[in-house]
C-alpha cells in the first residue's frame, strides 16, 4: 500500500509540473478552473465509459448504452457523445478545441441537472493557447488508464485534491479563500471523529472538510452512508469547485448550497441540527452585516460586535448543533482574549454554560491567506465535565517553503490522541508542561476567562540544569576574548592606514 501511495504522489507532482509548464500567460487563479475542469471531465467520462462498455456487452439482453436512465440508476453522470473524453482527445490538436470543450461542458450540464451552473466554460478564451490546451488534454488523458471505476476515481480524486493545494500555494493570499491547509483539516477531523451523523460546514470553501470526513470514515472501516453532509458557500466560483471536488469523490453534494448573501443573512439550512460542525470561517471579518442582525435569535450568549464576525460564527455554529453535537473550527487567536465590544462577556457566557471543550494553539505560518495567529476551538453540548483541555502546539509543524508550515501526521496524531485520552479520562493522559493542561473552571475564572493555552500549560521543562554562575562566567570570558580581538584588529587597521598615508605623501 505504501508503495502505491508513493507512486500516486509522484504522479501528482509530475502532472502538476507538466500542467504548470503549459500555463504560459494565464495566472494561477484563472488557470485552476481550466485544469480542474478537465480533471473533472476526465473523471465523469471514465465513470460513464465503464458502465457504457458493460451495457454494450448486454445489448442482446435488452440493454441500451445510450439510455440515460441506465446511468441515473447507477448514480453516474450521462456524458453525450461529443462531450466524451475520447472525442475531445481525438480533436485535441484542432485550433477550435477550446470551443469544443466549452460545448462539452454545456452538454453535460444540460443532461445532468445536478451539475447546472457548476462546470467552467473558459476554454475558448483568447489568452488560452489552443496548442497548450491540447497538450493539457493529452496529459490528463493519461491519468488512471484502465477500466476500474474505483481506481480511476481514487487516482483522479488524489490529483484533484493535490492540484487544489498547489493552486492555493500558487495564488498565495487569494488561495486561502477557497482552501484550508490539508494538515489543519486532518487535525480537525481526527479530533472530531465524525463516524456517524450529520456533518455541517456553513463556510465550506472547496469542500475539503467533507472530503476528509469521508476519508476518515473509510479508513476506520465505517460506512460512508452513515454520514450526510450539509454546507453553504457565498462565493459562487468556490462553490463550483466544491461541487466538482465532492462529485469526483462520489460524495452526495445535494445539500451543499450557494447564495451570495452568506450564512448570516441567508441561512440555507435554518432547521438543521448537526452532529458535527467543522469549519474555517474567514478571520476577523468586519463587513458581515451585523448591523442588520442586532436582534437575531442566534445570539443567545450575547450580541456580537458589528465590526468582527468571530463571535457571530461561534454562536451560528452552536445554533446548528444537536443536543449532543460537537463543533471544531478555526478562529483567529485574538478571539481567545478579546474583551472589546462585549466579546469578553460572550466568551464568559459560553464558558459558564459549559460549552467549551478544548482549545488548541496552532503554529504560525499554517495559513496561506493570513499571518494572523490561529487557534482551534472545540465546543460540545451535553458535556459531563467542567474542565477545559488546553493544548499549545506552537512548537509543532515544519516549513514546506519560506512562508508556509504544515503539521506532520505525527503532529496531528499527538494532538488528537491527547484530546481523546483526556475525553475518556484515560490513565494515559497527563498534563505536560509546555504542551497540555486540563484546567478547572475556577482556574479559567481566575484568569478572567482568557482561553490562551500558554497561560495554562506553562513553559516546557528543560532537561538541562541551568547554572547561572557557570553560564555568566563563560559569557564574560567570551566577551573579553572578543574585545581583545577587536582591539588587535583596530590596531592593525590604524597601522595599515598610517602606511597608506605615508605612501601618499611620498
Q: Which three cell numbers stand for residue 226?
A: 452513515
Is the separation of the CB atoms in 393 and 354 below 8 Å?
Answer: no
What are phi and psi for residue 143, nearest 5 degrees?
Answer: -80, 135
Strands 197-201 and 274-279: parallel
What pLDDT sits at residue 144? 60
Is the separation of the CB atoms in 229 and 251 below 8 Å?
Answer: yes
Helical (H) or strand (E) element with 83: none
Sign of CA dihedral 72, 219, 274, 296: negative
Cβ neighbour number for residue 469 with a 10 Å cutoff: 7
pLDDT (mean) for 12-32: 84
| C-alpha dist (Å) from residue 154 to 148, 239, 449 | 10, 22, 46
- Of the CA atoms within 13 Å of residue 426, those in its CB half-sphere come to 11
Residue 462 has pLDDT above 80, yes or no: no
Is the separation of the CB atoms in 230 and 205 below 8 Å?
Answer: no
pLDDT (mean) for 399-424: 93
List the single range of 18-27, 147-156, 195-204, 415-424 with lowest mean pLDDT: 147-156
The residue with greater pLDDT, 220 or 266, is 266
Cβ neighbour number for residue 118 with a 10 Å cutoff: 22
What are phi and psi for residue 276, nearest 5 degrees?
Answer: -140, 135
Kindly write down the DSSP assignment for every residue of 256-310, as one continuous string. EEE-TTHHHHS-TTTT--EEEEEE-PPTT-S-S-GGG-TT-TT-TT-PPPTT--H
Nearest C-alpha neighbor of 305 from the set 324, 282, 289: 289
Residue 175 has pLDDT above 70, yes or no: no
Whole-model pTM: value is: 0.82
Helical (H) or strand (E) element with 173: none
What pLDDT sits at residue 470? 64
* pLDDT band, very low/low/confident/very high, at 452 (cuts 50, 70, 90): very high
Report for 27-36, 239-248, 339-348: range of highest mean pLDDT: 339-348
Q: What percent of the chain has pLDDT over 70?
A: 90
What pLDDT sits at residue 63? 87
What pLDDT sits at residue 504? 60
pLDDT one-digit tens code per residue, 30-49: 899 999 999 999 989 988 99
With 0-12 CB in 10 A as exposed, 13-18 as middle and 19+ as buried, what is 352?
middle
Is the separation of the CB atoms in 191 and 328 below 8 Å?
Answer: yes
Q: Average model confidence (pLDDT) for the chain?
A: 88
Is the separation of the CB atoms in 190 and 378 below 8 Å?
Answer: no
3-state secondary structure of 213: helix
- Which residue's entry shows cell 477500466? 147
- Distance of alpha carbon 65 from its chain centroid, rounded? 39
Is the separation of the CB atoms in 267 and 317 below 8 Å?
Answer: no
What pLDDT sits at residue 467? 59
What pLDDT sits at residue 148? 47
Q: Which three cell numbers stand for residue 259?
A: 447564495
For 378-414, b/e burial (b = at least 16 CB within 10 A) is bbbbebeeebbbbbbbbebbeeeeeebbbbeeebbeb
pLDDT (mean) for 123-134: 92
pLDDT (mean) for 217-225: 80
Q: Which three cell numbers stand for residue 190?
A: 481526527
Q: Which three cell numbers stand for residue 5?
A: 501511495
Q: CA angle, 272 as apex, 269 and 278 as ends, to 5°?
A: 90
List the single range of 93-102, 246-255, 347-356, 434-443 with lowest mean pLDDT: 246-255
pLDDT one-digit tens code per residue, 261-309: 999 999 999 999 999 999 999 888 998 999 999 999 999 999 999 999 9
Kindly write down the DSSP assignment for every residue of 98-131, as one continuous string. HHHHHHHHHHHHHH-GGGTTTS---TT-TTS-HH
Is the separation of the CB atoms in 127 and 22 below 8 Å?
Answer: no
- Distance of alpha carbon 424 from its chain centroid, rounded? 28
List the single range of 105-119, 236-250, 347-361, 462-476 with lowest mean pLDDT: 462-476
List the single range of 6-10, 29-33, 94-98, 170-174 with lowest mean pLDDT: 6-10
3-state secondary structure of 327: strand
C-alpha 363/C-alpha 453 separation (Å) is: 12
C-alpha 202/C-alpha 313 separation (Å) is: 9
Amino acid at each position: 500500500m505504501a508503495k502505491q501511495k508513493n507512486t500516486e504522489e509522484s504522479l501528482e507532482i509530475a502532472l502538476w509540473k507538466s500542467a504548470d509548464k503549459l500555463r504560459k500567460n494565464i495566472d494561477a487563479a484563472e488557470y485552476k478552473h481550466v485544469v480542474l475542469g478537465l480533471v473533472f471531465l476526465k473523471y465523469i467520462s471514465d465513470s460513464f465509459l465503464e458502465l457504457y462498455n458493460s451495457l454494450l456487452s448486454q445489448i442482446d439482453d435488452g440493454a441500451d448504452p445510450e439510455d440515460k436512465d441506465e446511468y441515473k440508476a447507477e448514480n453516474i453522470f450521462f456524458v453525450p457523445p461529443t462531450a466524451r473524453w475520447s472525442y475531445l482527445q481525438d480533436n485535441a490538436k484542432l485550433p477550435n478545441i477550446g470551443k469544443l470543450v466549452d460545448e462539452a461542458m454545456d452538454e453535460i450540464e444540460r443532461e445532468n441537472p445536478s451539475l447546472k451552473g457548476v462546470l467552467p466554460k473558459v476554454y475558448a478564451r483568447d489568452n488560452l493557447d489552443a496548442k497548450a490546451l491540447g497538450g493539457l488534454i493529452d496529459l490528463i488523458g493519461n491519468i488512471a488508464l484502465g477500466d476500474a471505476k474505483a481506481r480511476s476515481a481514487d487516482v483522479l480524486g488524489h490529483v484533484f485534491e493535490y492540484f487544489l493545494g498547489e493552486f492555493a500555494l500558487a495564488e498565495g493570499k487569494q488561495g486561502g479563500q477557497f482552501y484550508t491547509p490539508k494538515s489543519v483539516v486532518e487535525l480537525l477531523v481526527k479530533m472530531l471523529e465524525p463516524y456517524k451523523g450529520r456533518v455541517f460546514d456553513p463556510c465550506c470553501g472547496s469542500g475539503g472538510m467533507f472530503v476528509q470526513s469521508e476519508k476518515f470514515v473509510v479508513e476506520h472501516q465505517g460506512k460512508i452512508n452513515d454520514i450526510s453532509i450539509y454546507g453553504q458557500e457565498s462565493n459562487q466560483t468556490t462553490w463550483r469547485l466544491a461541487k466538482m471536488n465532492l462529485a469526483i469523490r462520489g460524495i452526495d453534494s445535494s445539500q451543499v448550497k450557494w447564495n451570495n448573501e452568506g450564512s448570516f443573512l441567508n441561512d440555507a439550512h435554518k432547521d438543521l441540527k448537526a452532529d458535527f460542525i467543522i469549519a474555517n470561517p474567514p478571520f476577523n471579518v468586519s463587513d458581515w452585516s451585523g448591523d442588520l442582525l442586532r436582534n437575531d435569535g442566534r445570539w443567545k450568549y450575547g450580541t456580537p460586535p458589528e465590526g468582527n464576525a468571530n463571535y457571530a460564527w461561534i454562536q451560528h455554529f452552536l445554533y446548528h448543533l444537536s443536543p449532543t453535537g460537537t463543533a471544531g473550527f478555526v478562529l483567529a487567536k485574538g478571539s481567545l482574549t478579546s474583551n472589546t465590544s462585549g466579546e469578553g462577556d460572550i466568551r464568559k457566557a459560553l464558558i459558564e454554560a459549559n460549552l467549551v471543550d478544548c482549545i488548541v494553539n496552532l503554529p504560525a505560518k499554517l495559513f496561506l491567506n493570513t499571518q494572523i495567529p490561529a487557534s482551534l476551538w472545540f465546543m460540545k453540548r451535553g458535556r459531563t465535565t467542567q474542565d477545559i483541555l488546553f493544548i499549545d502546539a506552537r512548537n509543532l509543524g515544519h516549513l514546506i517553503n519560506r512562508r508556509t508550515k504544515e503539521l506532520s501526521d505525527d503532529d496531528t496524531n499527538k494532538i488528537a490522541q491527547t484530546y481523546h485520552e483526556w475525553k475518556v479520562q484515560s490513565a494515559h493522559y497527563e498534563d505536560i508542561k509546555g504542551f497540555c493542561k486540563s484546567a478547572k473552571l475556577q482556574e479559567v475564572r481566575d484568569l478572567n476567562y482568557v482561553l490562551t493555552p500558554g497561560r495554562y500549560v506553562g513553559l516546557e521543562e528543560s532537561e538541562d540544569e541551568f547554572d547561572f554562575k557557570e553560564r555568566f562566567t563563560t559569557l564574560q570570558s567570551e566577551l573579553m576574548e572578543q574585545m581583545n580581538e577587536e582591539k588587535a584588529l583596530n590596531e592593525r587597521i590604524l597601522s595599515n592606514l598610517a602606511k597608506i598615508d605615508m605612501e601618499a605623501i611620498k
